[in-house]
Amino acid sequence: MVNLQALVRANIKNLQPYSSARDEFHGQAAIFLDANENSLGSTLSQPLNRYPDPRQSALKEQISRIKNIRTERIFLGNGSDEAIDLLIRAFCEPGRDRILIMPPTYGMYRVCAEINNVAVEEVPLQPDFQIDVQQVLQRVDPSTRLVFICSPNNPSGNLLSRRDIQTILDQTRGLVVVDEAYIDFCAQDSLMPLLKDYPHLVILQTLSKAWGLAALRLGMAFADPFIIEILNKIKPPYNINGMTQQLALEALDQSTRQQDMVVRLIAQRRRLEEELKDIPMVETIYPSAANFLLVRFNQSEKVFRQLKKAGIIVRDRSKALHCHNCLRITVGTETENQKLIETLKNMQRDL
């Protein structure tokens, strides 16, 4: 049995959290003189002088409806990056506990761990970018408080095997964090239905990708209510600002628009794949379930430089494990993709 209580750092368990003015009184009143806000108004035309709802109740209700999950199972962060940081801070004792990651993967897991003086255990993905389950299970011990699994994985773009993730969930007692930042590009594959069976599963999602709201900074963690309460306890009181709460509420009403963008981006991804296949200096196009492609060139450094000269910036991932000579290319608009392909074809001609 997983004992969530035992996983929390003792100082966090004993922490008396900050209680903000909006925690102590919420509701309607004629006069608010409890939060040292500016009673005259704000310097902008929007009414921004009041602190936002620290529990983001309206937004959580909306997300609850869309994702079909109870509000007690939702934590909202200033990007999913905030949730990653808070999970490490709540569950890993600095200098003692560890997280386990599977490179090549999203860089913030390591950075957040290192900021918090938490050791990082690496079990590389296999060359096909799937999990080495046996190695993971061998390396997990009671000090491994969090296992980070990114699916679809960044930078490789593939979904990780659901069966492998379930095996890890079945055989480990720390938290298993599945980062689904790109899941809206293949929504049917979300592991959210597993939450009810695994109290130690945490799923991260974000509005930064398919919803097109990276600037708003809204990340979501879905988990057992106990884990959510711990995250709420240690978050800065007003971590989701008022504009973000308001705009996210409006945006989440536009799910048809989101789905339409997803369909168009997937179509563009397929088109990019087709076109890239015909360029001889492209060696491998890795299968993607996200809004980007990992592509191996025969000389990625040169390609990267030439693209940059043409004003096209892609991400050089050539130093990452199994990613020798690889560039990560975000799917652009039709015109941007056209320009990218033309530039690559010209480069090929000039070789």
For ligand PLP, the binding residues (CB under 6 A) are 79-81, 106, 150, 154, 179, 181, 206, 208, 214, 219
Give the whole-angstrom CA distance, residue 302 versus residue 194.
44
Question: At its nearest, how many Å lie between ligand PLP and the CB of residue 5?
Answer: 28
Question: At its nearest, how many Å lie between ligand PLP and the CB of residue 53?
Answer: 20
DSSP 92: -
Residue 266: closest CA among 284, 296, 287, 283: 287
Residues 6+ apart with CB under 8 A from 184: 205, 209, 210, 211, 258, 262
Q: Closer CB to ligand PLP, residue 4 or residue 289?
A: 289
| Residue of minimal Cβ distance to ligand PLP | 79
Q: Closer CB to ligand PLP, residue 118 or residue 240?
A: 240
Give the whole-angstrom CA distance, residue 150 versus residue 289.
12
> Percentages helix, strand, coil for the chain, rounded to the nearest 5?
40, 15, 45
Q: Closer CB to ligand PLP, residue 101 or residue 150?
A: 150
Question: At its nearest, how many Å lie between ligand PLP and the CB of residue 36?
Answer: 30
Tokens of 122: 């690496």
Cis peptide bond N-terminal to 155, omega within 30 = yes
Question: At its nearest, how many Å lie between ligand PLP and the CB of residue 67?
Answer: 15
Q: Closer CB to ligand PLP, residue 35 or residue 214?
A: 214
Give the whole-angstrom CA distance, residue 180 versus residue 290.
10
Question: At its nearest, how many Å lie between ligand PLP and the CB of residue 209?
Answer: 7
Regarding beta strands 292-297 and 219-222, do their DSSP bridges make them parallel or antiparallel, or are they unpaired? unpaired
Q: Closer CB to ligand PLP, residue 80 or residue 258?
A: 80
Question: At its nearest, how many Å lie between ligand PLP and the CB of residue 14?
Answer: 29
Contact 147, 174 (CB under 8 A): yes
Q: Closer CB to ligand PLP, residue 181 or residue 282?
A: 181
